[in-house]
Amino acid sequence: MMKRLTICVVVVAMLLCLGLATAEEESWYDRLDVSGYFQFRYLDHLGTEGADQADQFQFRRMFITLRAQMDHRSTGVICFSRVGPDDPNVDLFLAFVDYRLDDEWAIQAGQVPTWFGLEGWEPSAVRLPFERARILEAGPGFYWQGPADRGVYVRRSPQSPEEPLAIFGIVNGQFRSGDLDDDKNVELHLKWQQDWGQFGLSWMDGNYVDGAGISTSRNAVNAYVRKFADPWGFQAEWADGDLLGASRDGWYLQGVYDLEDDKNVLFARYEEFNARVDDDNCASFDAWTVGVRHRVYDSGYLTLQYSNGNWSRRGTVDGRSGSPSEDMLGIQWQYQFR
């Protein structure tokens, strides 16, 4: 814990010194922006098998981001996080520099957030359901260890409404951990932004090396589309690939209704997830989630959510057995600051 905090303090000091060194007439703190959010939950496992049946208070997420405009081309970003109810540690989640070559091209280098898909790319603060779909996060899906990696991304901004935002990346493929082999993962992302919504495609290919030194393929393709709520909206996302020695695929469809009272948004999501090694070692999951997000004030939201899901497993794919059900009711408070 002390080692992690020491690293975080050193990075903060370096970033502030950079801001101070590049400041001309204005003070360094005029170039520094601090933002973040946290999520706190009360969960009732109504009928979830294999889980603690007691009601649970969870401090689910905390992110604090420091962004410094070091000069007219360079922006430095660091982000501290605490993620998960069982991990009390505060970690260095992001630390990168975004350098704009011109109005068209830019480079990100360091520990960078992923551009993959929609729910993997967007932060949890803007998502309506509590968690990402299983194919992207807790399946385990392609970003089950968090949507960040170490590497370099080259970004081309669209020069017309018909062109996509295009991103090419070379990363370790180990999330925020050190690389354990010489192979790098490559990524390509295309994202279109329209007046009615957004859509995009993602592709990645490489390897993941586990703690035992075993290297397995980690590759995926992804497609998504979103129509902004006006007052009805929807989003859908699909991903397919290989991870941890199993082929995986999944999708979700989410409907949204904005009550247009500047306070309440209703949502409903159906999702499926599959992992397969062979006929005797496979798993599938499907679930419904419904809820409402209520804006209490400009920086605070309350979300009431009910979800019901079922697993079907053969063998011990991903080291798990049995076919438990998940039946949960919860309320989440999210506070954002800037």
Q: Cis peptide before 324, with omega less than 30 degrees from 0?
A: no
The tens place of each residue's pLDDT in the chain, 338 residues long, gives 445 545 554 555 555 555 555 545 566 667 889 999 999 999 988 766 655 556 588 899 999 999 998 888 999 999 999 988 777 789 999 999 999 999 999 999 999 999 999 999 999 999 999 999 999 999 999 999 999 999 999 999 999 989 999 999 999 999 988 888 888 999 999 999 999 999 999 999 999 998 888 999 999 999 999 999 999 999 999 999 999 999 999 999 999 999 999 999 999 999 999 999 999 999 999 999 999 999 998 889 999 999 999 999 999 899 888 888 889 999 999 999 88
- Best CA proximity match to 190, nearest among 220, 145, 224: 224
- Best CA proximity match to 28, nearest among 47, 43, 14: 14
Set out the domains of the chain in order of their start, with CATH numbers: 2-337 (2.40.160.10)
255 within 8 A of 264, measured Cβ to Cβ: no
Q: Is the pTM of this model over 0.85?
A: yes
* Residue-wise burial string across 40-76, b where 16 or more C-beta atoms lie within 10 A, e elsewhere: ebebbbeebeeeeeeeeebebbbbbbbbbbbeeeebb
Which distant-in-sequence residues (6+ apart) come within 8 Å of 81 by Cβ?
61, 62, 63, 64, 90, 91, 93
